[in-house]
Amino acid sequence: MKSRGLTGNINYKSVLATLLLLLAADRMVSANRAEAERVQAKQQSEFEVEPRDASANPAGLSFTIRLADGKREFRQGEIIRIELNFSSSKPKKYGVWVIPWDRRRQLNLDHFHVDPADGVSDPMYDHFHSVLGLMWGGGGSSRHVWLEEKPYRITYDLNEWLRFDRPGIYRLSITSSRVSTINYDNRVENLSLTSNTVEFGIIPAEKDWQEEGLQRVIQMLDAKDRNAGLGSSCRELRFLGSKAAAAEMVRRYGDSDNKCGFENYAGLIGSTHREFVIDQMESRLVLPDQPVSKEWLDLLTMLVTDSRRPRGQPGSINEDPWSPQQLKYHEQARAKYVEQLAQMVSQKTGRARVVSVKTLLDLKFNKWAIPDAATIFDDLSTADQKDLLEYRWEQVAGPAMLPVLRRLYRKSESVELTTWVLRRIYDLAPGEGRQLIITELRKPNPRVYYHHAVRQKFKILPDEMLPELDSVFVDNFEGSRDTEMHSALIERYGSPNIFGRVKAILDERIGKMACTEQSLLLAYCLRVDASESTELIRRALNAREKDNSRCYSSVFRSVGEIRTGSKLEKLAIEYLEDSDPEVVSDAIAFLGLYGSADTEEPLWLRFVKWHKEWNGRERELNEDVPWQRVEQNLQWALSHSPVWLADPKKLERLKQLCLTPNSREQVDNLIRGWTSEIPIRIALFKAEWGNADVAQYNLRSLPALKNKLAQFPTGTIFKWQPVYEGIMDEEKEKLFQELESFLLERGIKLIK
């Protein structure tokens, strides 16, 4: 079936096929990762010698490889570029996945068969067998390309996967799982294709060739206009393989602003000169001109930790990067290097001083005296400045920061940074800070950051209201294009004095405004006059004409996340009976997220009614996505509300009301989480509190966790299961003791 829309003809069968292939790719990547974990204890250099016969590939598919530019001989350390060509004589039947990621993630889409296997190793082995390997994320998004008779070519550097440690003649073929197909019944099948075999020679690299290549790379990297050849120069340096190249990567890797960060990291972790790299890093750690970033310290720590035992030895710390032994070695080594850096950082100069001081601040290091952050603050990036002001203010706060903040306020072009500068001036000099903030808020375009996703935290001043700015807020709202900013100021600081003017704006524009601005003004009205605001919210819910802004489907949630109350709850319960499933879903979601305990019974009654209406009509329901979403929202609201406990008895009742297999399966999974000893899986983070999983609940603050735990009955036993062992262990132990005492008072046990 085809339908014409704004984008022209849409082939829904093709769209479905693409979606199914996307799903298949996700499963394929997961399967490949699982396989990678299974073989972690084996050396990555143990390549298969005997591949499958390429003639076994499915009919109509072709997969061939060739060496770029027809080269057949390469020096050790020279980049070997290989081309993978996929084609099909049956267009639109087969597709190939193009994933432009480097070795930051071990996807294993292409498997290499090398003969002879001796003398060949994986340069990134330690990246995937260490704690540090988890630091680097992916490198881009994948895309699916339909194959045709004209070959589709994928080119990459073989050096990413293979390092030839011995000269000789090698034969190579590749088995690839990049290709998928969709059968007549829409089942996705991942295929495994084997290529032809190519032969090439590896010869020793002459010292003159290595030195010439190194000087060329250095010249490119130091050029003023280096962006054009930056990527290729970084990679050439990474693979060169000489001690001099390793020393150059050590020197350059220390700067956190370096654009070749991953290439230098990968080159050092994959260097055959491991002891030389460690010696270089240890000696340069204390040099005045060596920037020492956190990544630089982490790499040195990992290399030293890993060198304690032979690579791949049974029982080696390499086999489990998160084992207590590995983490103990890692933390001891890092502590030693951090102390050395702290002792010498005052002697560092220029950029090296800036980067190194920031590293110590990032690590919250205070054992040794370090230079005042104010001395390097101007040289930090805008992102780093904002990070210190927002999350780590206690590390840099002090009188010396006030002149720095004043200077930043005058010259900052970042609204986010300016917001935090103003707040920190207010912390250090409340009178001065308040005057600057008031002056800023009067402007038609104030340099104050606001985003609807964090509007609940919008408190640049602690005042409940700012009556002296009432008329300014409304005037600016009516005269500015940035109505979101000014509606946020009205909601946060507006007094009852402007209720009439705001109500008049809503009377005229409700249903036609942008959703965020409308929600903010409705939330203000709800704060000032809940009774009169109810009718305004009702009008917003009923504004469903074609020329409206279609905000009616999210009114309850968007207003409720800012402000709630009994009036809004009562209205949401009323709209549980609305004829529009989107409005019903919105009301349910609001009650599940922000409703009081009084809203539980109305939700159960609505689910019972929904079940009666749709029982026996499951086939219709499967095709009616909006009403199916009502079921999903009811199931989630009743099982996840923060104000009541959905125990196994309630979950069983919930399961009986669900009609779709997916919802019943989800409830079954929740029921399985209730064991005789319910785990508390806790993760703590430095920038924020962290989160805890208890049964089906995810709690993002300590008060939320305690509130939920207190809902469990007397006699419940919880099992303490912190994650990320070795990280913030002291804080976790303090939290355990606090929760143990809290629960003991309620007749509940917390055990380890």
pLDDT in tens, 640-681: 999 999 999 999 999 999 999 999 999 999 999 999 999 999
pLDDT at residue 18 is higher than 60: no
pLDDT digits (tens, 9 = 90+) for 607-631: 999 999 999 998 888 888 899 999 9
- 142-146, 240-244, 701-705: least confidently modelled range: 142-146
Of 538, 539, 596, the residue nearest 565 (C-alpha): 596
Q: Is the pLDDT of residue 251 over 70?
A: yes
Q: What is the DSSP string of 288-308?
A: TT----HHHHHHHHHHHHHTT
**Which amino acid is it at 703?**
P
Element (H, E) at 740: helix 729-744
Average pLDDT over residues 45-67: 72
Q: Read out DSSP for 484-527?
A: HHHHHHHHHH--GGGHHHHHHHHHHHTTTS-HHHHHHHHHHHHH
| Identity of the residue numbered 277 | V
Which are the contacts of 376, defined by CB distance < 8 A and separation ≥ 6?
A: 353, 354, 357, 358
- Please tell me the distance from the alpha carbon of residue 274 to that of residue 280, in angstroms, as a whole number: 10
Return d(Cα 434, Cα 623) in angstroms, integer: 57
Confirm if 38 and 110 have CB atoms less than 8 A apart.
no
Query: Domain-by-domain residue ranges, the chain?
Result: 2-203, 207-362, 564-672, 678-751
Residues 358 and 365: beta-carbon distance below 8 Å: no
pLDDT digits (tens, 9 = 90+) for 336-345: 999 999 888 8
Q: Is the bond preceding residue 496 a cis peptide, omega within 30 degrees? A: no
Does residue 371 register a pLDDT over 70? Answer: no
Q: Which pLDDT tens digit goes with each residue over 542-573?
A: 999 988 889 999 999 999 999 999 999 999 99
CB 499 within 8 A of CB 525: yes
> In the numeric block, which tokens belong to residue 628?
């199916």
Select the more confidently predicted residue: 265 or 138: 265
pLDDT band, residue 322 (cuts 50/70/90) = low
β-pair partners for 64: 85
In single-letter form, the type of residue at position 551 comes to C
Q: How many CB atoms lie within 10 A of CB 348?
A: 23
φ/ψ region of 161 (left if φ > 0, alpha if ψ in -120 to 50, else beta) reads alpha
Give the helix/strand (H/E) hosting 157: strand 152-157
Query: In the chain, helix, strand, coil percent, each to 5?
Result: 55, 15, 35
Tens-place pLDDT, residues 382-435 = 988 998 898 888 888 889 999 999 999 999 989 999 999 999 999 999 999 999
For 38, half-sphere exposure in the C-beta direction (CA atoms, 13 angstrom radius) is 7
Reading phi first (left if > 0) and then psi (alpha if -120 to 50, else beta), residue 185 is in: alpha
Phi-psi region for residue 698, left (φ > 0), alpha (ψ -120 to 50) or beta? beta
- Letter for the amino acid at 259? K
- C-beta separation of 236 from 214 below 8 A: no
Percent of the chain scored above 90 by pLDDT? 58
Q: How far is CA 229 from the centre of its chain?
A: 30
3-state secondary structure of 348: coil
612 burial (CB, 10 Å; 0-12 / 13-18 / 19+) is: exposed
**Which structure tokens are listed for 693?**
């999983």
Please enumerate in sequence order all residues whose Cβ is within 8 A of that of 567, keeping only pairs 6 or more positions apart, or say none: 526, 530, 531, 533, 534
Residue-wise burial string across 107-131, b where 16 or more C-beta atoms lie within 10 A, e elsewhere: bbbbbbbbbeeeebbbbbbbbbbbb
Mean pLDDT, the chain, integer: 85
pLDDT for the residue 54: 64
Which two structure tokens, joined as six digits, stand for 733?
Answer: 């132990």
- pLDDT of amino acid 392: 82
Q: DSSP for 542-603?
A: H--STTS---GGGHHHHHHTT---HHHHHHHHHGGG-S-HHHHHHHHHHHHHH--GGGHHHH
- Is pLDDT of 128 > 90? no
CA 473 vs. chain centroid, Å, equals 36
Q: How far is 54 from 174, CA to CA, in rounded Å?
A: 10
For position 358, what pLDDT does the model report?
Answer: 87
Return left, alpha or beta for 42; rule: phi > 0 is left, psi -120 to 50 is alpha, else beta: beta
Which top CATH class is 2-203? mainly beta
Q: Specify the residue for token string 């009541």.
A: 644
Q: Which tokens is 171 given?
A: 């034969």
Tell which wins on pLDDT, 262 or 92: 262
User: 364: phi > 0 → left, psi -120 to 50 → alpha, else beta; which?
Assistant: left
pLDDT of residue 24: 46
- How sure is the predictor about 302, in pLDDT bands with cuts at 50, 70 and 90? confident
Which residues, 6+ apart, have CB-to-CB distance to 103 below 8 Å? 124, 127, 160, 161, 266
3: β partners: 10
Degrees (nearest 5) of the Cα angle 44, 47, 49?
A: 170
Helix (H) or strand (E) holding 325: helix 324-344
Whole-model pTM over 0.75: no
Sheet holding 152-157, edge to edge: 61-67, 81-88, 152-157
R_g (Cα) of the chain, nearest Å: 31
Is it the case that residue 634 has pLDDT exceeding 60? yes
* DSSP 8-state class, residue 200: E
Taking Cα atoms as reference points, which of 130, 82, 128, 132 lies closest to residue 105? 128
